[in-house]
Amino acid sequence: MTYLFAAYTAVWVVLFGYVFSISRRQQKFHEEVARLQELINSQKRS
């Protein structure tokens, strides 16, 4: 039963790590899109 608990815990830790990683990448992606939009808008004004 101890191994089952350890495996269950390990799966949840990996899952949370994966979701956190995806969240960070999505945040960086949104920041990059916003930066590119500002760059495009500044180019249109010129």
Distance CA 12, CA 7 (A): 9
Q: What amino acid is encoded at 20 in this protein?
A: F
Tokens of 24: 């960070």
pLDDT in tens, the chain (46 residues): 899 999 999 999 999 999 999 999 999 999 999 999 999 999 988 7
For 2-5, which contacts have Cβ atoms below 8 Å and span 24 or more sequence positions?
none
pLDDT of residue 45: 84
- The answer to whether the pTM exceeds 0.95 is no
> Which DSSP letter does residue 46 get?
-
Q: What amino acid is encoded at 44 in this protein?
A: K
